[in-house]
Amino acid sequence: MNDRLENLAKQLGTDAANRLDVEATARKVVERLREQPVRRIAWVQRTWLRIAAALVLVLGGAVVASRLTPGRRPGVSAHPAHLVADDLGDLSTDELRDVLATFDELISPDSVAVPEGSTDLHELDAQQLRAVLRSLEG
C-alpha cells in the first residue's frame, strides 16, 4: 500500500508540470527580476511611513484626549483645591470643613498646613479654614 501511495504521489501534478512552458517561465522570472530589482527599499520606506503615521495618530489622540479630560488642561492644575478655592468666600464653616475632610482623603495628613497650636480641623474657625485651603492651593 505504501508503494501504491508513493507511485500515486509521483503521478500527482504531472499534467500541470508538463503544461508548464519552462522557457517562458524562465524569461518571465528574469524580466520580473529586472523590472523590480529590489523592492526592499520601497518596503522599508513604506514601513517607516506606516510607523510615522501610527505615531502621529497616537500623539494626536493623546493631545485630543488631554484637552477633553477635565482638570487635564495645560496650565491648569488637576488639584481639586482649585476647583473649590474660587468660591471659598461663599462657603460656610461646615462646608469648608467638608471640603477639608475631602482633602484629608486625597492628601496625606503631613502635607496639610494646620496653624500652629491646632491639632483638629474642627477647632478652626472659618477664617483659619480658608487659610488652610488657600495654602493647599500651592
Partner 1 sequence: MAQPHMVPAAHDTALIAAWQAGDEQAAAELVRRHARPLARFLASAGAPDSDVDDLVQETFIRAFRSVDRFRGQCQFRTWLLTIGGNVLKDFGRRAARRKVLPLDEAVRDVTGDPHEHAEAREAEAMLAAGLQQLPRLQREVFLLRAQQGLEYAEIAAALATTPGAARVHYHHAVRRLKEIVK
Q: Does 41 bind partner 1 (CB under 8 A)?
A: no
What would you report as the CA-atom Rg of the chain, rounded to the nearest whole angstrom?
A: 38
Among 22, 68, 70, 108, binds partner 1 (CB under 8 A): 22
Query: What spatial distance separates the first Cα and last Cα of the chain, rounded to whole Å?
Result: 89
Q: Does 32 bind partner 1 (CB under 8 A)?
A: yes
Site residues for partner 1, window 77-136 (CB under 8 A)? none
Smallest gap from Cβ 51 to partner 1, in A, equals 23
Among 28, 46, 50, 67, binds partner 1 (CB under 8 A): 28
Hey, how many other C-beta atoms are within 10 angstroms of the C-beta on 103?
A: 20
Q: Does 2 bind partner 1 (CB under 8 A)?
A: yes
User: Candidates 24-32, 49-57, 83-91, 103-111 — which segment interacts with partner 1 by CB under 8 A?
Assistant: 24-32
Nearest to 136, CA basis, from 114, 120, 117, 119: 114
Provide the 3-class DSSP secondary structure of residue 74.
Answer: coil
Distances (CA, A) of 40 to 37, 47, 53, 131: 9, 10, 20, 68
Q: Does 23 bind partner 1 (CB under 8 A)?
A: yes
- Number of residues interacting with partner 1: please give it, by CB under 8 A: 33
Smallest gap from Cβ 48 to partner 1, in A, equals 20
Sequence-ordered alpha helix ranges (H) in 1-138: 2-11, 14-19, 22-35, 40-68, 80-85, 93-106, 126-136
> Which residues of the shown chain bind partner 1 in the complex (CB under 8 A)?
1-2, 4-6, 8-23, 25-30, 32-34, 38-40
